């Protein structure tokens, strides 16, 4: 169960956050508000949609596209799979969320592996370098997707499309 969370006012000046689409920004903030005391939450698009947008104002396709965008552009957003379930780990959690140790509850969700974390850091650096090189022109989606090469999201997209839950989604 989520507790009170802090959203720092300077998030609006953060370059990575500022380059996100409005829906991706809302989902990122929603993830902060819904994360457990270790900065983790279930990351399946249908769970995020029902938790963050309980009145159905956005589609599953929009949620999936936003997750893909966050995974590519936000170095503090780690999307991973463990035990056949998808999760989100918000990086720098301890830095931004001050919690009293006696009230802290251990996460029910598994932590991402060290391999996943190191791959995310290295991919984030590549993407940031690519984006900074091409700030004046529109960045092609296939370049970012190729740079990230996220197998978990590709697998999830195919699964959701196969079940008819989402239509074919755009690649960022």
Half-sphere exposure for 130 (CA within 13 Å, toward CB)? 19
Q: What is the per-residue pLDDT for 27?
A: 97
If you search the block for the tokens 């091409």, which residue do you land on? 134
Average pLDDT, the chain: 77
> Nearest CA to 66 among 36, 41, 29?
29
pLDDT over 70 at 124, yes or no: no
Contacts of 120 (CB under 8 A, 6+ apart): 75, 78
Neighbours of 20 (CB within 10 A): 20
Write out the two tokens for 44.
Answer: 């399946």
End-to-end CA distance of the chain: 32
> Does 100 or 42 have the greater pLDDT score?
42
Q: What is the tens place of the pLDDT at every residue in 126-147?
A: 444 443 344 334 334 444 443 3
Q: What is the tens place of the pLDDT at every residue in 148-166?
A: 446 778 888 888 888 888 8
């Amino acid at each position: 169960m989520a507790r009170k969370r802090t959203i720092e006012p300077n998030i609006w000046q953060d370059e990575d956050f500022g380059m996100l689409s409005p829906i991706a920004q809302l989902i990122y903030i929603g993830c902060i508000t819904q994360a457990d005391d270790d900065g983790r939450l279930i990351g399946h698009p249908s769970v995020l949609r029902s938790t963050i947008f309980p009145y159905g104002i956005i589609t599953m396709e929009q949620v999936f596209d936003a997750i893909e965008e966050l995974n590519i552009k936000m170095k503090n957003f780690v999307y991973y799979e463990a035990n056949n379930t998808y999760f989100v780990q918000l990086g720098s959690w301890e830095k931004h969320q001050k919690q009293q140790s006696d009230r802290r509850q251990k996460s029910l969700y598994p932590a991402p592996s060290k391999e996943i974390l190191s791959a995310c850091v290295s991919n984030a650096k590549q993407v940031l370098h690519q984006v900074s090189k091409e700030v004046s022109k529109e960045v092609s989606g296939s370049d970012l997707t190729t740079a990230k090469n996220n197998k978990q999201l590709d697998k999830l997209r195919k699964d959701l499309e196969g079940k008819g839950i989402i239509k074919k989604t755009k690649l960022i």
